[in-house]
């Protein structure tokens, strides 16, 4: 385990030998190339060591697994892992209750095993009530007529088999696109998991999907999520995360490497945005709004895309960076480009307020998260607030902090 921007040594007397480091680094490079424009995942240093970038998650090869946790204040790795799972649950629409994350399992399992366990236990509960079914169009040659007779097939294929009738009928079947995705996740996770308990549950689940076709990749067709399969909606999102999330890279066939990684800038933004949607049900909260441009004449240029827009006139931009004390660095380490960007947003949206939101940390001269500095922009005197939120707190406490920031005047 290591944190963002931290290093793990390479050597014969360390958990990461040179061959293992080469495989992990190759996996990270392959993922980086596939995800152009993303921050570096793992880099090699001259020490020698592997240095994590501003990402969190898991990189695993047959001989070694590296878990990268967020660089936030916590008393233990267990608390760090717990905070990361809570953020992922909100950001990726995977509501995971605290009782599903026992201290013992959080302490001994990495992020991947935790997500596998929650998925497998929830899926087992759902399928014990029965798999979702759909009427599926089927063709078969049967001794008795079922459904409609396919005349063309009857006289082309069964002309020498009068004992067979070419039938076309709808069959109530569990072999649906949704169940194929869930089965694909089960098959993939059996190969990935190193946990005996996880493997046991997954093998049990695989038997329950015996009548479902196995697919190598996610189907291109649209998955139908409706009231008839409501109990599987969140499981589908969970399966997609484990199968082919944006920051996931796997090889086909035998698994040589697997990564489940999330850039912290984006994860923090998604977590805050979705938390605000929950915290402010009576307000309009839009994420990655993109209706305005910095230049509007003679033609629109330079699309503006603020992280969060509330009620059309409160702009919040999230920054996964540590604020500095005034005694350490002028302007608290806030980059000038970030200020210019927020001012451009404010003008285009005619904002009544703009907020730069950072993660709170213990070294900050602020006893608890909330409004850190209150400024006014030049020209129109728009309130410009610097605020913090403590992501190591519970989701409920985070939402309370966000409400107080938005409602502050």
Mean of the pLDDT values across residues 336-360?
93
Q: Which residue has the higher pLDDT, 295 or 131?
A: 131
Q: Does residue 252 surpass a pLDDT of 50?
A: no
pTM of the full predicted structure?
Answer: 0.84
User: On the CB side of 104, how many CA atoms lie within 13 Å of its CA?
Assistant: 0
Give the Cα separation of 66 and 313 in Å (integer): 43
Closest CA to 24 of 37, 11, 36, 41: 41
pLDDT value, residue 63: 86
Highest mean pLDDT among 71-75, 139-143, 254-258: 139-143
Closest CA to 189 of 137, 144, 248: 248
Residue 159 to residues 138, 140, 143, 154, 249: CA-CA distances in angstroms?
A: 20, 15, 14, 6, 50
Q: Which residue has the higher pLDDT, 115 or 97?
A: 115
Residue with tokens 């001269």: 365
Helix (H, G, I), strand (E, B) or coil at 26: helix
Least confident of 20-29, 159-168, 212-221: 212-221
Percentage of the chain modeled with pLDDT above 90:
49
Give the Cα separation of 236 and 181 in Å (integer): 7
Q: What is the pLDDT of residues 297-307, one digit of tens each?
A: 888 888 889 99
Which H/E stretch holds residue 8? strand 7-9
Highest mean pLDDT among 62-71, 159-168, 361-370, 398-407: 398-407
Q: What is the pLDDT of residues 225-234, one digit of tens each?
A: 888 888 899 9
Exposure pattern of 330-349 as b/e (b: 16+ CB <10 Å)? Answer: eebebeeeebebbbbbbbbb
**89 phi-psi bin (left φ>0, alpha ψ -120 to 50, beta other):** alpha
pLDDT value, residue 255: 45
**pLDDT band, very low/low/confident/very high, at 35 (cuts 50, 70, 90):** low
**145 phi-psi bin (left φ>0, alpha ψ -120 to 50, beta other):** beta
Average pLDDT, the chain: 87
| Rounded to 5°, angle at Cα 303 from 307 and 90 | 20
pLDDT value, residue 78: 85
């Amino acid at each position: 385990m290591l944190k963002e921007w931290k290093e793990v040594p390479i050597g014969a007397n360390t958990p990461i030998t040179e061959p293992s480091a080469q495989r992990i680094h190759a996996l990270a490079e392959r993922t980086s190339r596939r995800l152009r424009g993303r921050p570096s995942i793992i880099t090699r240093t001259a020490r020698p060591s592997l240095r994590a970038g501003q990402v969190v998650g898991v990189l695993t090869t047959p001989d070694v697994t590296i878990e990268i946790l967020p660089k936030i204040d916590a008393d233990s790795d267990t608390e760090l892992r717990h905070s990361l799972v809570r953020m992922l649950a909100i950001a990726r629409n995977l509501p995971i209750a605290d009782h599903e994350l026992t201290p013992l399992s959080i302490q001994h399992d990495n992020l991947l095993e935790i997500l596998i366990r929650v998925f497998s236990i929830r899926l087992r509960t759902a399928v014990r009530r029965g798999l979702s079914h759909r009427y599926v169009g089927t063709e078969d040659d049967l001794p008795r007529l079922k459904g409609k007779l396919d005349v063309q097939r009857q006289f082309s294929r069964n002309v020498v088999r009068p004992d067979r009738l070419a039938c076309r009928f709808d069959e109530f079947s569990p072999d649906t696109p949704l169940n194929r995705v869930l089965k694909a996740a089960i098959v993939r996770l059996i190969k990935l998991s190193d946990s005996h308990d996880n493997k046991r549950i997954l093998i049990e689940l695989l038997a329950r999907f015996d009548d479902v076709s196995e697919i190598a990749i996610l189907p291109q067709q649209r998955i139908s999520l409706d009231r008839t399969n409501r109990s599987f909606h969140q499981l589908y999102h969970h399966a997609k995360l484990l199968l082919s999330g944006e920051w996931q890279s796997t090889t086909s066939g035998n698994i040589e490497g697997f990564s489940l990684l999330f850039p912290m800038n984006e994860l923090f933004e998604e977590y805050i945005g979705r938390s605000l949607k929950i915290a402010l049900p009576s307000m309009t909260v839009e994420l990655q709004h993109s209706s305005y441009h910095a230049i509007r004449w003679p033609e629109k240029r330079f699309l503006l895309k603020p992280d969060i827009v509330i009620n059309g006139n409160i702009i919040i931009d999230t920054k996964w960076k540590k604020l500095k004390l005034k005694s350490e660095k002028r302007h608290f380490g806030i980059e000038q480009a970030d200020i210019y960007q927020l001012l451009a947003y404010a003008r285009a949206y005619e904002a009544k307020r703009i907020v730069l939101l950072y993660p709170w940390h213990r070294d900050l001269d602020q006893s608890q998260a909330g409004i850190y500095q209150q400024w006014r922009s030049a020209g129109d005197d728009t309130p410009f607030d610097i605020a913090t939120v403590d992501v190591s707190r519970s989701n409920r406490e985070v939402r309370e902090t966000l409400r107080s920031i938005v409602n502050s005047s």
